[in-house]
Amino acid sequence: MKNIYPKKSKITFFKFASILALFGLFSLGSCVNYKQLTYMSDLSNENFESLAINLAPYYINIGDIIDVEIVTLNSEATAFFNGNVGSGMQNMGGNNGEVAFYIRGFHVNDSGYIDLPIIGNVKAYGITEENLKIIITEKLSAYLVNSGFLVKAKLTGIRFAVVGEVRRPGRYVIFQNRVSILEALAEAGDIDFIGDRQNVKLIRPTQDSLMTYNIDLTSKEIMRRNEFFIKPGDIINVQPLGQKAVGFGSTWIDSFRDILSITASTLTLVIAINSLAN
């Protein structure tokens, strides 16, 4: 009598073992390696290595906040030019100090000017802090004839934002004249284990557009780039690693543990299916 039922296909252990081996090789290839986790991993292991850093001056941009202070030998004249808001607000600390600088500082408007008491509009966009001090000093000379005075003009800190795979994403202010991208990331708690240090995106506003730069923090060449030092208004966006996106562990040990667990479970299932097929 002819058997009308199809013959059960026998699932061989060798076939499934081969598939699992290929899967394991693919998964291990997705592990995060040492270079992906190390800043400037190509630096020399010797005690000293000299690298030229681009220390280009900062040119004031639209939206910057400039702190301008005029000091004279006459306390009344000093209070007059500074609006009598100097000492009390400068002594405020923490977030209150930041708010004080924001209120007291002079905003660079869309036309590139700051509006100073008595003096009026002064062009600030596209020049350095030092050049701005020179311009204000020249304008003040018409009002303070035969009187000694000192002009101070500086940025009220560097404001920036960090988003993506960092431990503390958010907006930050560092009260320094120069801040590197590594310092900015440190302020945000550093890049998380699953963050891609080889493809960090820096978004930088200009007068009429946004510029985007891809930065490889695992290469020492970053210190030679203009983007090594951030500018006010910069946004640092840290992308996730592709390995984590597909669900494997952060390190090869984690990945190996995951693969071993999957393999053991799958082999158990294969043996059970083979037993039923026989």
* Whole-number Å distance between alpha carbons of 223 and 50: 11
CB atoms within 10 A of CB 255: 21
Fold (topology level) of 65-155: wza like fold (3.30.1950)
Structure-block tokens of residue 33: 């390696």
For residue range 165-220, what is the model confidence (pLDDT) as tens digits? 999 999 999 998 899 999 999 999 999 988 999 999 999 988 788 999 999 999 98
Per-residue pLDDT, 271:
66
Ranges in the chain, pLDDT < 50? 8-11, 28, 84-94, 245-247
The domain limits of the chain are 13-31+249-277, 37-48+158-242, 65-155
Q: What is the DSSP string of 104-131?
A: HSEE--TTSEEEETTTEEEE-TTS-HHH
* Whole-Å CA distances, 131 to 61, 135, 220: 14, 6, 32
CA distances from 199 to 202, 217, 236, 246 (A): 10, 8, 11, 18
Is beta strand 158-164 parallel, antiparallel or unpaired with respect to 170-174? antiparallel
Q: Write down the pLDDT at residue 37.
A: 74
104 close to 117: Cβ distance less than 8 angstroms: no
Res 86: pLDDT: 46
Rounded Cα distance, 176 and 190, in Å: 19
Alpha-carbon distances, residue 257 vs 25, 70, 250, 254, 261 (angstroms): 14, 65, 11, 5, 6
Single pTM value for the model: 0.69
Instruction: State pLDDT tens for residues 251-269.
Output: 555 555 666 666 666 666 6
Domain 37-48+158-242: CATH architecture, name and number where available: Roll (3.10)
How crowded is residue 5: how many other Cβ atoms within 10 Å of its Cβ?
Answer: 5
Give the separation between CA 247 and CA 64, rounded to whole angstroms: 42
